[in-house]
Amino acid sequence: MNIHEYQAKAMLAEFGVPVPRGKLALSVAEAVTAAESLNGSVWVVKAQIHAGGRGKAGGVRICKSIGEVKAAATDLLGSVLVTKQTGEAGKQVNRLYIEEGLNIAREFYLSLLVDRETERVAFVASPAGGMDIEEVAASSPEKILTLSIAGDEVSENEAQKIAAFLGLEGEQEKACADLLEKLYRAFTEKDGSMLELNPLILTGGGKLMALDAKFVADSNALYRHAEIVGLRDLSEEDPREIEASQFGLNYIALDGHIGCMVNGAGLAMATMDIIQLKGDRPANFLDVGGGVTVDAVCEAFKLLFSDDHVKAVLVNIFGGIVRCDIIAGGLLEAIKTHPMRVPVVMRLVGTNEEEGRRMVKDARLDVRWANDLDQAAELAVAAAREVA
């Protein structure tokens, strides 16, 4: 689960991480009041959306007067920001964060993530901060250090390695070690799956500070973090994903043409892979899970049928705990309100497969049957071509 930059900064500040002074503003008047209360001579007005790349898209405005703050807030609030990370549709700006403007001497990249290979929390650091880190990784990988933390805290040796890589010495090296320790604590105590400071800066006065902050909470740990759940901003999330989550479906919207309905995350991944192999792309990831009900399957089909990107639906069920008749029942329920406007290819095997097939056939639905995944993917890709 994502939270906003201003929320991530407030969370980090609780752990003693230095962040710029700032205030949230939901209106132009609030933006002006916020700037006045931050008294200084430079302010930064930052659009709060769950996406990065705001700077290049005009979502971060440096203002030299209260009048400029007012103009920037007027311009940004309610506007739609299209950045490299939002997709074409962009995201509407409903919240602004007004910060004191700072003098930047240097910009670094610093993040924490769960490294599945080492099964540890790892820091990723780069002296080339403030830019697109994927670009740095591609063009100059030697500028990126990935370091897994071996123990329960950042050791002196590990901190030294990171500080040296960033070119920090003396007092700044100490400040860096202190910062790493605090970030590590924040990340583990809050059960993060990702924490990114891009940039972490060295101010003109020689202080390290988190100028930008992105925090992604591990959704599986939210049950023990009511304080993070409270930060959820549903207006930033895909309405289809919210809908699906209410039915206990693991659904993620993607941008291909083949709507997928699969049981089991591994099988769902394999299904997406084989669709790509056959020359198209999945419109979604969907794992209906083991204890799925007719209602949830019905909801899942409705999501697929109401998605304009979907040109064909591929049902790949390998019934174990999931019963094929429940999948068929969900489809029959869904078409009462959402007609099958695209071809449906079904591979339905395992528990109660005969009954499931019979239900679909009795309803005289125009479903194309496949015996295995390979054939199913081939049929679905061909069907999507016909429709397109």
Q: Closest CB to ligand GDP belongs to which residue? A: 55
User: Nearest CA to 108 among 162, 63, 58?
Assistant: 162
Confirm or reject binding of residue 44 to ligand GDP (CB under 6 A): yes
Confirm or reject binding of residue 212 to Mn ion (CB under 5 A): yes
Residue 101 binding target from ligand GDP, Mn ion, none, CB below 5 to 8 Å by type: ligand GDP
Residue 320 is assigned to a ligand binding site? yes
- For the CA atoms of 189, 191, 194, 198, the dihedral, rounded to the nearest 10 degrees, stands at -30
Confirm or reject binding of residue 111 to Mn ion (CB under 5 A): no
Q: Omega into 199 within 30° of 0, i.e. cis? A: yes
Site for ligand GDP in 243-302 (CB under 6 A): none
Confirm or reject binding of residue 18 to ligand GDP (CB under 6 A): no
Give the shortest CB-137-to-Mn ion separation in angstroms.
15
Q: CB within 8 A of 77, min separation 6: which ones?
A: 27, 28, 31, 93, 94, 96
Angstrom distance (rounded) from CA 3 to CA 127: 26
Please select the residue that binds ligand GDP; options are 12, 28, 60, 110, rule is CB under 6 A: 60
Give the shortest CB-313-to-ligand GDP separation in angstroms.
36
Give the shortest CB-109-to-ligand GDP separation in angstroms.
10
Q: Is 196 a catalytic residue?
A: yes
Residue 102 is assigned to a ligand binding site? yes
Residue 190 binding target from ligand GDP, Mn ion, none, CB below 5 to 8 Å by type: none
Q: Is 223 a catalytic residue?
A: no
Of 5, 6, 97, 109, the catalytic one is 109
Site for ligand GDP in 199-218 (CB under 6 A): 199, 211-212
Give the shortest CB-134-to-ligand GDP separation in angstroms.
13
Tokens at 141, concatenated? 């990988």
CA–chain centroid gap for 222, Å, is 15
Angstrom distance (rounded) from CA 44 to CA 68: 10
Residue 327 is assigned to a ligand binding site? no
Confirm or reject binding of residue 198 to Mn ion (CB under 5 A): yes
- State the alpha helices, DSSP H only, in the chain: 5-14, 28-37, 66-76, 133-139, 156-166, 170-189, 226-229, 239-246, 265-277, 294-305, 324-334, 353-362, 373-387
Per-residue binder mask for ligand GDP (CB under 6 A), 95-124, x = binder? ----x-xx-x--x-----------------
Tokens at 200, concatenated? 């972490």
Give the shortest CB-99-to-ligand GDP separation in angstroms.
6
Q: CB within 8 A of 262, min separation 6: which ones?
A: 268, 271, 286, 287, 288, 315, 316, 317
> Which residues does residue 216 pair with via DSSP β-bridges, in sequence order?
2, 194
Please give the positions annotated as active site.
109, 196
Could you list the residues known to form a binding site for ATP, using ranges: 46, 53-55, 99, 102, 107
Contacts to ligand GDP by CB under 6 A? 44, 52-55, 60, 62, 99, 101-102, 104, 107, 130, 198-199, 211-212
The annotation places the binding site at 46, 53-55, 99, 102, 107, 198, 212, 263, 320-322
